[in-house]
């Protein structure tokens, strides 16, 4: 097999290439499926390398049945993807932007941290999935600690929800002011741009998020659509940030576009028999 050589005729119309390293969520609301749909909708070429498979259990309160992908298989996927599209591949639109979703175990965190270190990507967007909606906080402290120690320092952009922002900052978040303080703290810890999400967890008529990158502190606000969380909102928000960064947006522009994308997707959500409806990535069409 011959290797790909740079081809100028490809460059004009060829999309940016982005990778999500994430879990499969079988019903298609969250995880890698939400990421790929978001990537397609925003006009980038999406790749998913799977870390785990989550299948909710309708016979047991929709609990999360979690199966990790074998470590060697995760490493193989990353090897194939970076060889095909990574900086060393010679591909004209090299893969430079990566999203990290659910990793799920300390072993997977080490495997993924190794791949991030080997391939200096310009943009590493971390959705620090500590727990999923409906799960109990603190069920996997070793995984949470490994994520903070090994992946957070490699992130350039991080999108914690209310619970994750409290966990990463060590601060209690009860209102917009404390959400701002948490975003600043998480930036200080990580050096990353931060989009901290209040979502439906903070009281008031608006779903409020806070962006902070060390210079600009901006409150992003949109009217709440109901008071119940929607599956895939966090994944799609981080995936939209990823797509926009890959297309050349600044972190603040990416955050604003992602917020609008998610708001439209929640307004046009898909009803589900699971406890949460699913965000529709085509909602802004
Ligand atoms: O929404 C967080 C999330 C991310 N990734 C996977 C999930 C979930 C929540 O269910 O299953 C694979």
Question: Residue 246: its pLDDT value, please?
Answer: 97
Question: Residue 87: its pLDDT value, please?
Answer: 74
Question: Residue 213: its pLDDT value, please?
Answer: 98
Of 132-146, 169-183, 233-247, the poorest mean pLDDT is in 132-146
In the predicted structure, residue 9 carries a pLDDT above the cut 60: no
Q: What is the mean pLDDT of residues 128-147?
A: 75
Q: pLDDT tens-digit profile of 46-85? A: 999 999 999 999 999 999 899 999 999 999 999 999 999 9
Q: How far apart are CA 111 and CA 78, in angstroms?
A: 9
Domain containing 206 — which CATH number?
Answer: 3.40.1190.20
Token pair belonging to 169: 């900052």
Q: How far apart are CA 123 and CA 125, in angstroms?
A: 6
Flag whether 4 is in a domain: no
Flag whether 10 is in a domain: no
Residues 266 and 284 sit within 8 Å (Cβ to Cβ): no
Q: Is the C-beta atom of 54 inside 6 A of ligand 1?
A: yes
Q: Is the C-beta atom of 251 inside 6 A of ligand 1?
A: no
Instruction: For residue 74, report the distance from its CA to the centre of ligand 1, in Å.
Output: 17
Instruction: For residue 99, report the distance from its CA to the centre of ligand 1, in Å.
Output: 14
Containing domain of residue 181, as a range? 15-267
Instruction: For residue 25, report the distance from its CA to the centre of ligand 1, in Å.
Output: 6
pTM above 0.75, yes or no: yes
Confidence label for 140 from pLDDT (cuts 50, 70 and 90): confident
Token pair belonging to 199: 């979502």
Instruction: For residue 30, report the distance from its CA to the centre of ligand 1, in Å.
Output: 5
The HSE-up count of residue 278 (CA atoms within 13 Å, CB side) is: 18
Flag whether 132 is in a domain: yes
Question: Residue 2: its pLDDT value, please?
Answer: 46
Question: Residue 132: its pLDDT value, please?
Answer: 61
Instruction: For residue 267, report the distance from its CA to the centre of ligand 1, in Å.
Output: 20
Among residues of the chain, what percentage have pLDDT more than 90? 83
Q: pLDDT tens-digit profile of 197-218? A: 998 889 999 999 999 999 999 9
Question: Residue 7: its pLDDT value, please?
Answer: 54
Q: What is the mean pLDDT of residues 24-51?
A: 98
Domain count, the chain: 1
Token pair belonging to 173: 């978040």
Where residue 218 falls (left for φ over 0; alpha for ψ -120 to 50; beta otherwise) is beta
Beta-bridge partner residues of 24: 31, 53
Instruction: For residue 9, report the distance from its CA to the centre of ligand 1, in Å.
Output: 39
- Render 226-262 in DSSP notation, one character per residue: SSS--BTHHHHHHHHHHHHHHTT--HHHHHHHHHHHH
**Secondary structure E strands in 84-229:** 97-100, 123-126, 157-158, 193-199, 206-212, 217-223
**Strands across the sheet containing 17-25:** 63-68, 45-57, 17-25, 97-100, 123-126, 157-158, 193-199, 206-212, 217-223
Residues 100 and 112 sit within 8 Å (Cβ to Cβ): yes
Flag whether 65 is in a domain: yes
Flag whether 9 is in a domain: no
In the predicted structure, residue 37 carries a pLDDT above the cut 80: yes
Q: Is the C-beta atom of 25 inside 6 A of ligand 1?
A: yes
Flag whether 101 is in a domain: yes
Confidence label for 13 from pLDDT (cuts 50, 70 and 90): confident
Token pair belonging to 195: 């989009």
Question: Residue 42: its pLDDT value, please?
Answer: 98
Pocket probe mutation, ligand 1, options 62, 100, 102, 266, max atoms within 8 Å of Cβ: 102
Instruction: For residue 33, report the distance from its CA to the centre of ligand 1, in Å.
Output: 10
In the predicted structure, residue 228 carries a pLDDT above the cut 80: yes
Flag whether 5 is in a domain: no
Pocket probe mutation, ligand 1, options 26, 29, 49, 54, max atoms within 8 Å of Cβ: 54
Residue with CA nearest ligand 1 atom 9: 132
Sign of torsion over alpha carbons 198, 199, 201, 207: positive
Non-local CB neighbours of 73 within 8 Å, separated by 6+ positions: none
Flag whether 217 is in a domain: yes
Q: What is the mean pLDDT of residues 176-183?
A: 98
Non-local CB neighbours of 104 within 8 Å, separated by 6+ positions: 23, 51, 52, 66, 68, 140, 143
In the predicted structure, residue 17 carries a pLDDT above the cut 80: yes
């Amino acid at each position: 097999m011959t290797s790909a050589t740079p081809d100028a005729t490809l460059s004009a119309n060829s999309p940016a290439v982005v990778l999500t390293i994430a879990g499969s969520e079988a019903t298609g609301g969250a995880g890698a499926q939400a990421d790929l749909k978001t990537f397609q909708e925003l006009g980038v070429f999406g790749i998913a390398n799977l870390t785990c498979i989550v299948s909710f259990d309708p016979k047991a309160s929709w609990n999360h049945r979690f199966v990790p992908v074998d470590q060697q298989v995760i490493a193989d996927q990353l090897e194939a993807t970076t060889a095909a599209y990574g900086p060393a591949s010679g591909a004209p639109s090299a893969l430079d932007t990566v999203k990290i979703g659910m990793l799920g175990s300390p072993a997977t965190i080490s495997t993924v941290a190794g791949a991030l270190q080997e391939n200096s990507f310009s943009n590493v967007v971390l959705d620090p999935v500590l727990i999923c909606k409906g799960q109990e906080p603190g069920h996997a402290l070793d995984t949470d600690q490994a994520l903070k120690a090994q992946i957070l320092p490699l992130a350039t952009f991080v999108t914690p929800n209310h619970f994750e922002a409290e966990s990463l900052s060590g601060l209690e978040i009860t209102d917009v002011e404390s959400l701002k303080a948490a975003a600043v703290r998480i930036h200080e810890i990580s050096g990353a741009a931060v989009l901290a999400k209040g979502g439906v967890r903070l009281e008031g008529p608006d779903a409020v998020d806070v962006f902070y990158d060390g210079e600009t502190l901006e409150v992003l606000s949109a009217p709440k659509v109901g008071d119940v969380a929607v599956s895939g909102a966090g994944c799609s928000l981080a995936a939209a940030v990823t797509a926009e960064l890959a297309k050349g947006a600044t972190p603040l522009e990416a955050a604003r576009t992602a917020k609008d994308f998610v708001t439209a997707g929640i307004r046009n959500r898909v009803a589900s028999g699971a406890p949460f409806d699913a965000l529709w990535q085509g909602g802004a069409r």
